Structure 1
């Protein structure tokens, strides 16, 4: 039989909890050597000794008493009253309580339970087992992390003649692959040695592309199917649409006919939200938006001409370079044009004229990027010329927010899929800018020099952590941003919603004020025309207008010359008076 000795001690008898703290080293005892003991020191040679049994050791443990807990529920119903006491009568219950409180057994039970409760209270006061010591540490680290990004790898065009990365698309399942479209968009710069292939890269292997896509004409844009990760659709330089299934090889499964396709390069193509998952639509600088079913690319299923006069005249159509579609708004889409105008359209309108709903004019050059905010679809981002602008659908006269003019042309931009207040832009000087409009609006939060050549395309992975930038010399750079730029911050959605609402109201007030000023000026001009006898400026011939402008110019010039002559005469007179005064003082006399 094994005999076990267990030593227990109550937690209350240990005393108060020991609290340790750091303190500098302190010398307690200093024993100097004693020279008189040197002769007694005997040096021994090393010796070995074998032992058959080790020294007996005793082992013991000390621990507080453990309790096993079991979670259970109880349905408490007041009861236990004697039959002669009615619980509904307050006087009877009070009388019965006074009687029980005087009972000796009741007093003893209360005293016994009080000692148990006192022990539990003292134990809880000694050690607070529910205290959280590091509850604010994670938040402190997130707030103190400076924005940063690092380059992971670069996917270079394997051909000798380098081409521009004009389009990028992430694999929908986890973003393990990146599809890149390569083409030369410079006018008459295409050579015979230029390759037509585009590639699909594995982000773990930047040395060699995983698969080649072989279109009949260089691809300008391409897009992965969000419902089927094996299929892609691309737009070519000659205006054709091509459809790939990666399980069937590098050749396109089907290509649209030249007669039914776009007349210019296809700058943007997007998959639509449909039951079959085979619908897409594309746009080009020929001024058309075409809808396709990839199962039958012989002709488009629908066509829209971006003509602001709503006549459907292709000669007056605006060339489109960007396209936007939000799955939560299946009937709406937006088109960015070469003339700096964003056109909002409704696909389900009854007539072609009603499909063009409204326009937003705010850029001096082509709108290269157009995307709705994934958290606030009513607000969208555009990039054109030297600025990036944020718009609201309710304000058509001007954008609600914009960046200051940059030194280089902006070529592409996109919102962060995880942080509603963060968006990315790329410029022709090779710089990637990260903007956090909640942090600051005048300057980017992070500017990173990616490469020495111009950046033309930009795409973010769905988790917001990886960023792919395509350059002019065929390099697709993969970067990883820090956790602060790819993690949703506290109250970020509500703060950004309040900011958008405030800026929208401000623009509405300013626009109403401008409208009021214009009406006052118009009424004032009409009143002046009536005072002139009803004669309008439009009644004068061009020669009369030119003659009147010349007369006004010469009159203003003569008045300015006369004013300068008067000023010179005044200065000369003051100078003569001063000289005369000085001469008089030197002679010691007075002036006559």
Structure 2
């Protein structure tokens, strides 16, 4: 019998603040019951690890070793995949029209887009309105229009800036570093510079109609570094009067002639085959200009006679001309290339090779020349009508674009074909001429083209035109090396 043990209770107390409680009814509109049953997992069977037959494996490897080594050496010495690079980026396969720009008051007058230019940031495209067909357009009111494509609420029919001009504008070019400064050449021979960021008072400088000015319509304007390679820039202008003039901005809104050149028949290189000029006409009309990317003094002129000329800013020989001028005019021509079948409307120097340039003319051909020989390396017939513009791509060494009198913009990739365009874009549905085009050097997928309908179309190029392929520079060098000896 066990003794009875009594344990005294042990007590401890604590005190907390009173806890408030509340009750509230809740009701759901419907409820659903579901039952889920899982099956018991099956045990994972333990597979026996296969035993390796070591001696047979060693015998196999010894048997094939010589053959595998021989094939690896052959592959290592092969050049089949030289230059091959895998491109993992998604390819854009089409060329699309991004914007169709126009200014109804200019289009209502039947004005053509005679020039296009991108500003230094690549966000603004400007166009010149004028006329390129027959007629006296010297007193026709014209316009320079600019669109900021990065601006919110872009109005395709209302430019960001509109400059009214008292004479037809034949060409224009944005300043290399000032995003809002643009130079233009007029039908009456004047050269003007505007600031499109101040459309209420845009005129900065002008040449005026002096004895120094051109006496024929200005065909092209180009910005060049000023004397002594300072921060100042000068404007070079080319016209059908045979003069190439350099203008420097001075006080009181004036462009002053700083240097000049003139083309005289008697001073062209002997290789030139020209018809005897009519009595009293000794000047050769210039129609286009392009500067070398490798030699700042070297430039190519297109002429009314159809032959391109290699020229130099460093030429010292006086020009045989009686044209009035406040500075001595010099003879710039150094070499003459074989001619087109009609006037040359456009020239473009390669940005990737010092000796190559393109020319396009009224015979519908594009010629690819080397600076080292008179005959073209190749000649491509792109149109049965005129060709008005040709431009090298700024990013693809073997790509260029041309604008035709049949309403097309043609893109060539010489790596794919040396005879036919890679893409032919229909700019105008009624085959109205396309007069001008320019690549965007900052946003390299953009190409602007202007036409006889008064429209500027901004084309977005596919990636095949903006991404340089393997060995492309080497292929360009090989093309340039095909100079006749």
Please, what TM-score do these two structures have when normalized by structure 2?
Answer: 0.71
Which position in structure 2 is the counterpart of 1:554? Answer: none
Please state whether the residue corresponding to 1:496 is helix, strand or coil: helix
Q: Which of 237, 260, 264 lines up with 1:282 in the alignment?
A: 237
**TM alignment of 1:289-368, pairs within 5 A:** 289-295=244-250, 297=254, 299-310=256-267, 315-352=281-318, 355-368=332-345
- Give, in angstroms, the shift of residue 298 of structure 1: 5.2
Decide whether the 8 Å contact of 1:261 with 1:299 is kept in 2.
Answer: no
In the superposition, relative to structure 1, how do residues 440 and 342 fare at CA in structure 2: closer, same or farther (>3 Å)? same
1:253 Cα deviation after fit: 1.7
1:301–1:480 distance in 2 versus 1, CA, 3 Å: same
Per-residue CA distance 1:283-314 (angstroms, 9 max, x = gap): 10111111100236454111211114129x98
CA contact 2:181–2:193 (8 Å) conserved in 1: yes
Quick one: which of 257, 274, 282 aligns to 2:208? 257
1:225 alignment counterpart? 175
**Higher RCO (Cα < 8 Å, 6 or more apart):** 2
Q: 2:474 is matched with which residue?
A: 494
Q: Deviations over 1:417-472 (max 9, x none)?
A: 00000000111111111111111111111111111221111111004311111010
Q: Does 2:437 align with 1:458?
A: yes
Distance 1:185 1:356 in 2: 27
Given that residues 248 and 258 in structure 2 are in contact (C-alpha distance below 8 angstroms), is that contact kept between their aligned partners in structure 1?
Answer: yes
1:161 matched to 2:118? The reply is no
Flag the 1:47–1:328 CA change in 2: closer, same or farther, 3 A. closer
Post-superposition offset of 1:246: 3.2
Distance 2:179 2:250 in 1: 16
SS in 2 for 1:309: helix
State the alpha-carbon separation in 1 of the partners of residues 130 and 282 from structure 2.
28
* Unaligned ranges ≥5, structure 1: 1-45, 50-135, 509-592
Aligned-residue offset at 1:247? 4.3
Q: Residue 401 of structure 2: which of 407, 424, 429 is its match?
A: 424
- Once the 2 structures are TM-superposed, how far is the Cα of residue 207 of structure 1 from its aligned partner? 2.9
Q: Deviations over 1:143-173 (max 9, x none)?
A: x958531001111132121211111110111
**2-side partners of 1:182 and 1:369: how far apart?**
18
Q: Which residue of 2 aligns with 1:203?
A: 149
TM-score by length of 1: 0.59
User: Is 2:376 the partner of 1:394?
Assistant: no
Alpha-carbon distance change, 230 to 405 in structure 1, aligned in 2, over 3 angstroms: closer
Pair 188,138 (structure 1): closer, same or farther in 2 beyond 3 Å: same
What does 1:373-384 align with in structure 2 at a 5 Å threshold? 373-384=350-361
For residues 250-288 of structure 1, give each alpha carbon's deviation from its aligned partner in whole angstroms, at most 9, with x where no partner exists: 431222121221001101010002313321110101111
Distance across 1 between alignment mates of 2:142 and 2:189: 14
The total of aligned residue pairs comes to: 370
State the alpha-carbon separation in 1 of the partners of residues 84 and 379 from structure 2: 36
Closer, same or farther: CA 482–359 of 1 in aligned 2, 3 Å: same
Q: Which has the greater radius of gyration?
A: 1
1:471 to 423, 445, 451: 451
Hey, what does 2:129 align to over in structure 1? 182
Q: 1:413 aligns with which of 368, 390, 394?
A: 390
| Greater strand fraction, Structure 1 or Structure 2 | 2
SS in 2 for 1:417: coil
Q: Is the 8 A contact 2:310 2:371 kept in 1?
A: no
Distance 1:247 1:201 in 2: 11
SS in 1 for 2:172: strand
Alignment of 1:16-95 (within 5 A): 47=31
CA distance in 2 between partners of 1:496 and 1:356 (Å)? 27
- Unaligned stretches of 5+ residues in structure 2: 1-29, 34-82, 269-278, 320-330
Distance of 1:315 and 1:370 partners within structure 2: 25
Name the CA shift for 1:469/1:309 in 2 (closer, same or farther; >3 Å). Answer: same
| Contact 1:286 1:319 (8 Å CA) reproduced | yes
Distance change in 2, residues 1:147/1:497 (3 Å): farther
In structure 2, the partner of 1:267 is 219
Question: Does the CA-based 8 Å contact 1:421-1:436 persist in structure 2?
Answer: yes
Partner of 2:15: none
Deviation of the 1:325 alpha carbon: 1.6
Shift of 1:327: 4.8
Instruction: Report the alpha carbon displacement of residue 346 of structure 1 after superposing the two structures with TM.
Output: 1.4
Equivalent residue of 1:316, what SS? Answer: coil
Distance 1:148 1:256, change over 3 A: same
Shift of 1:216: 3.1
CA contact (8 A) 1:367 1:382 kept: yes
